[in-house]
Amino acid sequence: MPDFVKKEGEAGGDFRSDNRFLLGFFEEKDGALHYRYDAERVIIEPWGPDSLRVRASKMPEMPQECWALSEEPKPSRSCVEISEYSAKISNGRICAEVNNIGKITFFNAKGEVLLEEYVRNREDMFAKTTSSLEVEAREFKPIIGGDYQLTARFESNPDEKLYGMGQYQQKFLNVKGAELELAHRNSQASVPFVLSSLGYGFLWNNPAVGRVSFNKNITTWQVQSSKKLDYWITAGDTPAEIEEAYADVTGKVPMMPEYGMGFWQCKLRYQTQEELLEIAREYKKRNIPLDVIVVDFFHWPKQGDWRFDPTYWPDPDAMIAELKEMGIELMVSVWPMVDYKSENFAEMKAKGLLTRVEKGVRIDNTYMGNTIQFDPTNPEAREYVWGKIKKNYYDKGVKIFWLDEAEPEYTVYDFENYRYHLGPNCQIGNIYPVMYAKAFFDGMKAEGQENIVNLLRCAWAGSQKYGALVWSGDIHSTFESLQNQFAAGLNMGIAGIPWWTTDIGGFFGANIYDKEYHEVFARWFEYGAFCPVMRLHGYRMPYQPQYGTTGGAECVSGAPNEIWSYGDEIYEICKEYIKIRENMRPYIRTLMQAAHEKGSPIMRPLFYDFPEDPVCWEREAEFMFGPDVLVAPVMEKGQRKKEVYLPAGAEWTCIWSGERYAGGQLVTVDAPLAQLPVFTRDDFVIEI
């Protein structure tokens, strides 16, 4: 070995004495491979079996935030080898090789390339062709007076399929070829984990605002401001192995409580205590199972008061007690906004518990008042808000919360204009919904509650471990929107968020007397019975007469949105699917257990359970609800037949006809308005 190559345990590096090549320095330290060249430091280390974490920075010291990688990784054994012009680190089924200019390539156990950085540099002596482009794989572009704009580039395999990345309002399940914003908006949740058909999973472990482009020629991750590059990659033989490895390092959901497995009733919005109780009593009278009913927004006097308005909710203790007697849990909506006129605003501002703006007036939302968000990245703010929630809701018996506006929502999405306790929004803003969920999870946990679930409108990687049930936001009440939710729900599950739901019927744009909408509603309700949580919600027309003129009563209320609000035909369909949901409760319980113990998505693409069937990687019109139920939603107007692919390796039974089919074939089945095509695997049975 030449004397300029580092030996194990000693500092040093590689260089050529003739200076024809500029080479970086390699070092093995504590089982990790370190590389440096000029100001850049790179660390590649084992992070759980078959997995590696890669960090790079030009800061004086490597920033230590773990962000989504907050769970202690399972033990793993790695091996670092350093040669004359390269080095590699192996950990189980994954290996990373770093060449003379710092380019990283990842291989699986067969020696096949999983992923490699995109470099076009004349100094890469091992490149197949030299290039004068001078494009770096890891580009830290200085922000004058600040940190760095970060770009990471990878070679693209045009035949690769990619899934996950969270929730985007588009109908593409395979996101290869898509450009996605790494930012949250109402109905958009950026959860930057992607699962590849090549056999790897990749987490972009950086909460900064930016974009990712999965192009045919190059994959590019870019963020506006950052101190470091940080990502995690794992190799696996099946999607389930990859998903479970990801859950091991980012966390798993708690066990879903029993009331999370049935039917939830909600609308925008019950205006009074008595109105809500009358609806609950009516469900009970009709003998229709109901697990949760919801008090929506503006039941408070002012945003940021975090309490019931006594004018319209005079005795919440008695209301909650009556609901519990009926076996119904109450979920209460909470917003992070604090109105300038709120009773808590002055104190919160004085204590530094609110988010800030870089320029202009300190207002980030103007819906129903001038408001600013509370800052959940500040531990003191989390404790303060939970203190209000505990006193005014939790101690009264509310054990499940609807954490709305969790992106948070801005009136104007100038991401660079907002600043949090942990830093500027453009650098750490995507962590907001995680910390929002954590504020409530920690508070409820401290009270001794187990099996915590709270409904949020947004998530980032790791949200799941704080009991986050994510719904798809304020979406339109159309078939086109339903198609978007189909893709969103499946990609959220792959992105590590197994608890997901959607407003059955869509949120806005529908009139309850519109016969054409009734078809949309029926198909959505049928689909909703096979989502992880079955929740009816919406802002329907025509508006209800306003009840009261003070406090939250200034906010309007939509039309009735109970299952009997759409006529007899739709009512009978809804009753049938609530019954099916109830009959599946023991099965759903097993799915929730698997999500809790292994991180398994509850609803997932066909390839998750049948990775060896190539057709399952192509089908984007049906999904698996757990391992034994195949669902083919009807998402087109007037459709009364549906072509369904039944995966190879199993036999399938139509739950309506009882007809049995061999797997590995396309079948066309009847789909009358009351029948969603559903098939069970082998000998599994759903009672109808």
Q: Is 89 helix (H, G, I), strand (E, B) or coil?
A: strand
Q: Count of CB atoms within 10 A of residue 482's CB?
A: 24
Estimate to the nearest angstrom the gap between the alpha carbon of 363 and the chain centroid: 27
Residues contacting residue 656 through CB under 8 Å, at least 6 positions apart: 670, 675, 678, 688
Please tell me the number of Cα atoms within 13 Å of 655 on its side-chain side: 23
Structure tokens at 290: 């109901």
Q: What whole-number distance in Å separates Cα of residue 87 and Cα of residue 85?
A: 7
Distance CA 430, CA 227 (A): 15
Output the CA torsion sign for 55, 61, 67, 71.
positive
Q: For residue 635, give both structure tokens.
A: 């998402």
Where do the H-state alpha helices sit in 127-269? 239-250
Q: Name the active-site residue from 136, 404, 409, 503.
A: 404
Please name the residue that has the structure tokens 């033989």: 237
Which residues, at least 6 apart from 523, have a Cβ–Cβ distance to it below 8 Å? 479, 482, 633, 634, 635, 673, 676
What is the distance between the alpha carbons of residues 273 and 313, in angstroms, rounded to a whole number?
5
Q: Distance between CA 518 and CA 573 in Å, rounded? A: 11
Task: Return d(Cα 110, Cα 119) in angstroms, integer.
Answer: 24
| CA-only gyration radius of the chain, Å | 26
Query: Among this protein's residues, is 404 annotated catalytic?
Result: yes
Backbone phi, psi, residue 124, to 5°: -80, 100
CA distance linking residue 266 with residue 61, whole number of Å: 50
Angstrom CA distances, 336 to 188, 303, 404, 407, 419, stand at: 18, 8, 8, 10, 15
315 is annotated as an active-site residue: no
* Selected catalytic residue, list 14, 291, 296, 407: 407
User: How many Cβ atoms sit within 10 Å of the Cβ of residue 414?
Assistant: 15
Strand, coil or helix: what is 456?
strand
Of 474, 519, 562, 609, catalytic: 474
Q: Does the annotation count 562 as an active-site position? A: no
The contacts of residue 476 (CB under 8 Å, 6+ apart) are 506, 507, 508, 509
Q: Catalytic residue positions?
A: 404, 407, 474
